Amino acid sequence: MAERSVPRTSLKLYFHPFASFCQKVLIALYENATPFEPHIVDLADETSSAEFKKIWPIGKFPVLRDDAKEQTVPESSIIIEYLAQHFPGKVQLVPADPELARQTRLRDRFYDLYVSTPVGKIVTDRLRPAGKSDQHGVEEAKALLRIAYDMIEQEMGAKTWAMGGAFSMADCAASPALYYANKVMPFDHAHRNVAGYFGRLMERPSFARVIKEAQPYLALFPQ
Ligand SMILES: N[C@@H](CCC(=O)N[C@@H](CS)C(=O)NCC(=O)O)C(=O)O
C-alpha cells in the first residue's frame, strides 16, 4: 500500500501563532512553501516555557532550529535571512543586489522598531497590575507610532509593497506590525496610503493564512 508522503524537513519553528514576530517568520515560510515542523510554545505554561528556554535562554520567540546544519537561529529578521540563504524559493525575500538588500533591511528594521515595538509597549501596558501602568511610556509610544504612520504615508504613495514592486522581508515585518497597530491606533483619513498598503497585505495569501491560524487565539489580545 502506498504511504502518504509527509514533507521531510530539518527545520523546526518554535513560535506562537498569535505573536507578531512569529507571524513575520510564518509569512516568509508560507511565501515559499518551505516545509517546517511547527512547535507551539506557551510561555504562560511553566513546562513549555522551561523547555523553550533550554533552546534559547532569552525566552523570546520565534526561534528556528535546523537539525541538519546544527544551527539554532533566533531573531525574526535573522531567521528570514537564514531561510533566504539556505532555503531560497520563488519569492526572493532579501534581494541579491547589495544596495536593494540594505534598503530592504532598513525597512524591516523600521517596521520592527518603530511600529511593532511601540505597539508592544501600548499593549503590554494593559497587562500590568493595577497602579503599575506606565502612562508616560505609553504616550511616548503613541507619539512614535504617529510619526511612523506619517512616514509610511509618504513612502507608500506610489508603491505596492515596501520595496516597490517585489514582496520582501520588509513586507513580512510590516504585515503583523500594521495589523496590531491598526487595533491600538486605527488608521484614519490622514493615512489612506497606510490603509491601502495594509489592505494589500491582508489580501496576500501568506498573511491571510497567518491571520486565519491566529483566530483561535485573538481573545488573548488585551482590550
Ligand atoms: N527581536 C525579536 C523580538 C521577539 C519578541 O519580542 N517576541 C515576542 C513575541 S512577538 C516574545 O517572545 N514575547 C514574550 C516575552 O517577551 O516574554 C525578534 O525579532 O524575533
Tell me which residue has its CA closest to atom 16 in ligand 1: 60
Tell me which residue has its CA closest to atom 2 in ligand 1: 75
Residue 13 pLDDT exceeds 70? yes
The whole model's pTM is what? 0.95
What sign for the dihedral angle of Cα 179, 181, 186, 191?
negative
Question: How many A from CA of 190 to the centre of ligand 1?
Answer: 30
What sign for the dihedral angle of Cα 186, 188, 192, 193?
negative
Question: How many A from CA of 152 to the centre of ligand 1?
Answer: 23
- 123-134 mean pLDDT: 94
Tell me which residue has its CA closest to atom 6 in ligand 1: 60
**Residues in a beta bridge with 14:** 39, 63
Tell me which residue has its CA closest to atom 5 in ligand 1: 60
Q: What angle do CA 134, 136, 140 make, to 5 degrees?
A: 115
Instruction: Give the tens place of pLDDT for each residue, 48-98.
Output: 999 999 999 999 999 999 999 999 999 999 999 999 999 999 999 999 999
Confirm if 175 and 31 have CB atoms less than 8 A apart: no
Question: How many A from CA of 145 to the centre of ligand 1?
Answer: 18
Ligand 1 and 75: CB distance under 6 A: yes
DSSP annotation of 210 reads H
CA distances from 93 to 15, 89, 158, 218 (A): 20, 9, 21, 27
Nearest ligand 1 atom to alpha carbon 60: 12
CA dihedral 159, 193, 124, 83 (to 10 degrees): -10
Ligand 1 and 60: CB distance under 6 A: yes
Confirm if 15 and 40 have CB atoms less than 8 A apart: yes
- Residues 23 and 189: their CA atoms lie apart, in Å, by 27
Confirm if 105 and 77 have CB atoms less than 8 A apart: yes
89 φ/ψ sector (left φ>0, alpha ψ -120 to 50, else beta): beta
pLDDT at 6: 52
Question: How many A from CA of 60 to the centre of ligand 1?
Answer: 4
pLDDT at 222: 83
pLDDT band at 1 (very low <50, low <70, confident <90, very high): very low
Q: What is the mean pLDDT of the chain?
A: 95
**SS3 label, residue 18:** coil
pLDDT at 223: 79
Q: Which grid coordinates are listed for 5?
A: 508522503
pLDDT band at 18 (very low <50, low <70, confident <90, very high): very high
Amino acid, res. 15: F
What sign for the dihedral angle of Cα 186, 24, 22, 78?
negative
Q: What angle do CA 82, 102, 17 make, to 5 degrees?
A: 45
Question: E strand or H helix at 15, and its extent?
Answer: strand 11-15
